[in-house]
Amino acid sequence: MQHIVIVGILVIVMAVLTYFGLDSIGLMPVEASAQAVSIDWLWNWQVIAMSFLFALIVVPLVYSLVVFRRKKGETGDGEHIEGNTSLEIAWTVLPLFAVLAFAYMGAYSLGETNRVDPDAIEIRVKAQQFAWTFEYPEYGIVSTELHLPLNQQVVLKMESADVIHSFWVPEFRVKQDVVPGRVTEYRITPTLVGDYKVRCAELCGTSHAYMEAGVIVDTKGDYAAWIAEQAAIAAASQTPEGQGQILSVKYGCLGCHSIDGSKLTGPTWFGLYGSNVELDNGTSVVADDAFIKESILDPNASVVAGFPSPSVMPPYTLTDEEIANFIAYLKTLK
Ligand SMILES: [Cu+2]
The pTM of this model reads 0.63
Q: What is the pLDDT at residue 231?
A: 85
Q: What is the pLDDT at residue 71?
A: 85
Residue 98 has φ and ψ, to the nearest 5°, of -65, -45
Q: How far apart are CA 126 and CA 202, in angstroms?
A: 15
Cα-to-centroid distance, 55 and ligand 1 (Å): 40
Q: How far apart are CA 155 and CA 117, in angstroms?
A: 9
Q: Is a pLDDT exceeding 90 seen at residue 16? A: yes
Q: How confident is the model at residue 242 (pLDDT cuts 50, 70, 90)?
A: confident
Give the H or E element holding residue 124. Answer: strand 121-128
Q: Which residues surround ligand 1, an ion (CB under 5 A)?
A: 165, 200, 204, 211
Cα-to-centroid distance, 159 and ligand 1 (Å): 12
Encode pLDDT of 187-201 as tens digits: 999 999 999 999 999
Alpha-carbon torsion angle 223, 121, 151, 224, nearest 10: 20
Cα-to-centroid distance, 179 and ligand 1 (Å): 10
Cα-to-centroid distance, 134 and ligand 1 (Å): 15
Cα-to-centroid distance, 211 and ligand 1 (Å): 6
Q: What is the pLDDT at residue 11?
A: 96
Q: How confident is the model at residue 292 (pLDDT cuts 50, 70, 90)?
A: very high
Cα-to-centroid distance, 200 and ligand 1 (Å): 5
- State the DSSP code for 209: G
CB count within 10 Å of CB 135 equals 16
Q: Is a pLDDT exceeding 80 seen at residue 250? A: no
Cα-to-centroid distance, 129 and ligand 1 (Å): 6
Cα-to-centroid distance, 258 and ligand 1 (Å): 38
Cα-to-centroid distance, 123 and ligand 1 (Å): 19
Q: Is a pLDDT exceeding 90 seen at residue 247? A: no
